[in-house]
């Protein structure tokens, strides 16, 4: 990465227009086409009697996708209110815009009779091989609305949750899918948990958090504006930048401690100096993972390591599957660090940097051990959970 950056910086200093025009070209290369049945013929007469404003909306959406969508820079194409609320205003875009061609499938009235709001659905997909097999990445939904005489775009979130019940508990606003019965007890326990994590790490308690509760992963993706997404079975998200948590899992519901930990500790991990394995490990240590408590996660991981003796901490750091998703291995490192150096040690580890080399140096420093020693201790630490699952507890 570094040589490339250097080259680009030199280029920027010498001839900034070259760099900027090449960036613009890269964005222009995002291919946007209308799907079957999207009539983009534009008379320019402003007479909407035939295809309505569809051609105008299509053009605005196409131009947005080709220009400001990737950068998330201020744009004339997106709702001013949402740009004011979030610096990265396009929520679905963060998941969907990965450079794949876009096909605008439909531009239709959001509600019959209301002509000032349209739903725009776009498929991001690639067509592969001689038989052009279509591999979709995401199917997004945005709303085209009128602002100052122009069509601009807005997220699905506030529109699709307009009728969801709100419950304010502590500083958390729960926004609950219709049909889900709100669990006040779980909500109060979540608030207490979040405050205790903040106190433990000496960070500001949560002052404002929107916590969306749905019963299925499908529903949380739908409100994010993702009618389909590869990996759309993920049941929860923490989105500290937009001060929100989304949970589509009725077991956790209002008290998803893993995601709450991510939100509360965002000031420490979000710089973004924290290695992914430490960030996930901390949330797992305090809040469990994927429907399981911390101890159950570790017990399962101990069985996994026993069955796969060739897996080492080194292989975990290079092969994702070796950690069952970068959680238990990191949780063990986090717990070891806490036991050795307390919260100060953990904070140093969190600030230690993202790269593999930085992580190794930070761990050696925080644990006061050489890397081979850390390797051995880490494995022994995990395996202890197989023999005596009640021996160790997280700080919860
Ligand atoms: Zn996580």
Give residue-wise pLDDT tens across range 355-392: 999 999 999 999 999 999 999 999 999 999 987 545 54
**Residue (of 267, 270, 279, 264) closest to 349 by Cα position:** 279
Domains 30-154 and 156-269 share a fold: no
Q: What is the pLDDT of residue 396?
A: 43
CB atoms within 10 A of CB 180: 17
Tell me, in angstroms, the distance from the centre of ligand 1 to residue 203's CA: 19
In the numeric block, the tokens 């450079």 are attached to 99
CATH fold, domain 156-269, is: Glutaredoxin (3.40.30)
Q: What is the pLDDT of residue 145?
A: 97
Tell me, in angstroms, the distance from the centre of ligand 1 to residue 135's CA: 27
CB atoms within 10 A of CB 48: 13
Verify cis geometry, omega within 30 degrees of 0, for the bond prior to 272.
yes
Q: Give the pLDDT confidence of 303-351 residue by residue, as tens digits.
A: 999 999 988 999 888 876 666 665 899 999 999 999 999 999 999 999 9
Tell me, in angstroms, the distance from the centre of ligand 1 to residue 225's CA: 21
Q: What is the pLDDT of residue 5?
A: 29
Q: Which residues surround ligand 1, an ion (CB under 5 A)?
A: 280, 283
Q: Around 379, how many Cα atoms within 13 Å sit in the side-chain half-sphere?
A: 18
**Residue (of 37, 51, 87, 58) closest to 153 by Cα position:** 58
Furthest C-alpha separation in the chain: 77
Question: So where are the chain's domains?
Answer: 30-154, 156-269, 271-396
- Rg of the chain over Cα atoms, rounded to whole angstroms, equals 24
Tell me, in angstroms, the distance from the centre of ligand 1 to residue 190's CA: 16
CB atoms within 10 A of CB 142: 25
Q: What is the pLDDT of residue 321?
A: 67
Question: Could you say which residues of the chain have pLDDT below 70?
Answer: 1-29, 42-51, 271-272, 320-326, 388-396
Tell me, in angstroms, the distance from the centre of ligand 1 to residue 124's CA: 26
CATH fold, domain 30-154, is: Nuclear Transport Factor 2; Chain: A, (3.10.450)
> 53: which 2 tokens?
């404003």
Tell me, in angstroms, the distance from the centre of ligand 1 to residue 123's CA: 27
Q: What is the pLDDT of residue 319?
A: 74
Q: What angle do CA 85, 90, 95 make, to 5 degrees?
A: 135
């Amino acid at each position: 990465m570094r040589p490339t950056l250097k080259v680009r910086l030199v280029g920027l200093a010498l001839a900034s227009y070259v760099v900027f025009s090449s960036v613009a070209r890269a964005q222009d290369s995002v291919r946007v086409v209308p799907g079957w049945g999207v009539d983009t013929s534009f008379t320019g007469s402003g007479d909407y009697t035939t295809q309505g404003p569809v051609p105008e909306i299509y053009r605005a959406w196409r131009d947005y996708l080709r220009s400001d969508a990737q950068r998330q820079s201020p744009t004339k194409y997106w709702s001013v209110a949402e740009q004011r609320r979030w610096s990265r205003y396009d929520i679905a875009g963060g998941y969907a815009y990965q450079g794949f061609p876009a096909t605008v499938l439909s531009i239709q009235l959001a509600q019959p009779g209301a002509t000032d709001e349209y739903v725009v659905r776009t498929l991001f997909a690639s067509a592969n091989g001689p038989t052009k097999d279509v591999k979709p990445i995401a199917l997004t939904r945005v709303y085209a609305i009128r602002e100052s005489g122009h069509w601009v775009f807005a997220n699905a979130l506030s529109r699709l949750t307009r009728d969801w019940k709100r419950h304010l508990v502590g500083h958390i606003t729960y926004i609950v899918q219709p049909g889900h019965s709100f669990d006040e007890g779980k909500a109060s326990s979540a608030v207490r948990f979040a405050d205790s994590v903040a106190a433990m790490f000496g960070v500001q308690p949560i002052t404002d958090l929107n916590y969306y509760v749905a019963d299925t992963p499908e529903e949380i993706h739908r409100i994010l504006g993702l009618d389909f997404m590869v990996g759309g079975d993920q049941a929860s998200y923490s989105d500290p930048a937009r001060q929100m948590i989304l949970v589509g899992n009725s077991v956790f519901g209002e008290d998803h401690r893993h995601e709450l930990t991510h939100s509360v500790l965002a000031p420490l991990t979000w710089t973004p100096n924290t290695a992914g394995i430490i960030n996930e490990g901390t949330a797992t240590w305090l809040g469990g993972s994927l429907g399981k408590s911390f101890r159950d996660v570790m017990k399962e991981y101990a069985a996994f390591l026993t069955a796969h003796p060739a897996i080492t901490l080194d292989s975990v750091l290079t092969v994702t599957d070796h950690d069952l998703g970068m959680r238990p291995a990191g949780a063990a490192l986090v717990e070891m660090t806490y036991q050795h150096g307390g919260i100060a040690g953990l904070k140093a580890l969190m600030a230690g940097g993202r790269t593999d080399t930085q992580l190794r140096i930070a761990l050696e420093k925080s644990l006061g051990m050489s890397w081979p020693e850390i390797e051995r201790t880490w494995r022994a630490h995990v395996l202890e959970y197989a023999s005596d699952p009640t021996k160790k507890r997280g700080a919860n």
